[in-house]
Structure 1
Amino acid sequence: MDHVSTFDHHHCVVISGCSGSGKSTLLEVLARRGHAVVPEAGRRVVQRELAAGGKALPWVDLGMFLQQVLALAVDDFMAHRHAPHLVFFDRSVVDALAGLEHLGIAAGMAAADCRYHATVFLSPPWPEIYVADAERRHDFAAAKAEYERLCAVYPRLGYRVVTLPQCDAGARADWLLEVLANPTLRPVR
C-alpha cells in the first residue's frame, strides 16, 4: 500500500480500531443523533455467509472473507463519496487491505481510490467491554493484534490517527464531533 496525500472526501469519517471496543455502539449513538452511518462490512459479510451457508467466513477462509469485505467496503465508499454531509463508516477499505496485507495477499489500488477524511478515529483495546459472539469468534489477543496493525497502516497511508477515549458512547460521540469541529483540540497518536 502506497502513501497518497490527497483527501477528496472530507465528509467520509472512519471509526476503526480494536474489535469489541465500542465502535458499533458509538455509530448507533451517531445515527440516533441524525448522522449518516455505514455499518461494518465485515459483519455484513459474516451475516450473509452464515445465512447462505457460505465459506467466506474469517474462521473458514480468511482470505476469501477479506476479499469480500474489501469489495463491499469499496461499494460503501463509492455510494457515499458525494454525500453533502458527514458520513461515519464503521471501518473502511483500509481495514480490509491491512488484513489482506497481513496474509500476504496483494489487493490493488483500493486505498488510493477510496480516500476518507484525513483524520481517522481508532478505538483502542478495551478488555472490560470485549465479548466474542456468533459473528466475532476471535479472542481478545487477535483483536489487539489487529488494532496494532491498523495503528501502523493508517498513518503509513497519510491519515492522521486520533485515539477515541474510553468512556460511555454518548460522551464518546460528543468528543468525536468536537474534534471534527476543531481538530487542534486533542492530541493525536
Structure 2
Amino acid sequence: MHDNFVLLSGCSGGGKSTLLAELRARGHHVVEEPGRRIVCEELAGDQKALPWVDPAAFARRAIEMTLADRQAARALSGWVFFDRGLIDAASALDAVTGDDALKRLCAAHRYHRRVFMAPPWPEIYVTDGERQHEFEASLVEYQRLATAIPALGYEAVTLPKTSAIARADFVLSTLSCGTI
C-alpha cells in the first residue's frame, strides 16, 4: 500500500484535472488521467480502443496504464495525486464485461485511505474531443464509483464545488496539512 498515493475520482467533468493543475502548481507530484491519454493516442492511431468504439478494450488499456503509472510513482516522495486510477478503470471494465477485476486488482494496489470524489457539477461540465459522452453518462459513472469506493474500504470524501484553489486547500487540509 502507498499511503502517499491519493486518488481523485468521481464524475467526469467535475473539475479533477483543474484541481490537479493547482496541486502541481503547489509542487506536488501528479499523474494525469489515463483515459484522456489513451483517447489522444487512439485518435492518432488505429482508434480501436476508444471508449465509444470498444469500452472493454479502453478499460483494459486504462488498467495497464494505471498499473504502469503506479509503478513509476513508487520512486516519488511526498503526496502523489492521481487523476483517476485503478478503481475507475477496473470498475469500468466490470461494468461492460462483468469481469471481477475491481476486487481482484484493487485489493493488491491500494491508495491512501481517503479518496476524493468530484461530485456531478453540470454548471462546469463540457464535452470535447476526448470526452464525448453526455452529462447523464457521467452521472451513471459517478454512481458506480460512489458505490465501489466505500465497498473497497476507502473513505469517500466529496470535493466542494468551489475554486481549484479552495479545493486544493481542502484536499491538503484533509490530508493533515499536506504531510505524510
Structure 1 equivalent of residue 40 of structure 2: 47
Percent identity over the alignment? 50
Structure 1 equivalent of residue 136 of structure 2: 141
- How much has 1:82 moved relative to structure 2? 4.5
- Contact 2:159-2:167 at 8 Å conserved across structures: yes
Structure 1 equivalent of residue 101 of structure 2: 107
TM-score, normalised via structure 2 length = 0.94
Structure 2 equivalent of residue 157 of structure 1: 152
- Describe the superposition over 1:97-143 as per-residue Cα deviations: whole angstroms up to 9, x where unpaired: 11111111343732122111000000000000000000000000000
2:101 aligned with 1:85: no
2:176 aligned with 1:176: no
Aligned counterparts of 2:101 and 2:122: Cα–Cα separation in 1: 31
- Contact 2:91-2:101 at 8 Å conserved across structures: no
- How much has 1:78 moved relative to structure 2? 1.6
Pairwise CA RMSD: 1.4
AA at the equivalent of 2:154: Y
Aligned counterparts of 1:162 and 1:107: Cα–Cα separation in 2: 23
Aligned counterparts of 1:40 and 1:18: Cα–Cα separation in 2: 13
- How much has 1:77 moved relative to structure 2? 1.1
- Contact 1:11-1:83 at 8 Å conserved across structures: no
Partner residue of 1:25 out of 12, 18, 22? 18
Q: Which runs of 5+ in 1 are unaligned?
A: 1-7, 183-189
- Contact 1:125-1:147 at 8 Å conserved across structures: yes
Aligned counterparts of 2:10 and 2:49: Cα–Cα separation in 1: 22
Aligned counterparts of 1:125 and 1:79: Cα–Cα separation in 2: 30
Aligned counterparts of 1:105 and 1:137: Cα–Cα separation in 2: 25
User: What is the number of residues matched between the two proteins?
Assistant: 176
- Describe the superposition over 1:36-55 as per-residue Cα deviations: whole angstroms up to 9, x where unpaired: 00000011111100011321
- Contact 1:132-1:139 at 8 Å conserved across structures: yes
TM-score, normalised via structure 1 length = 0.89
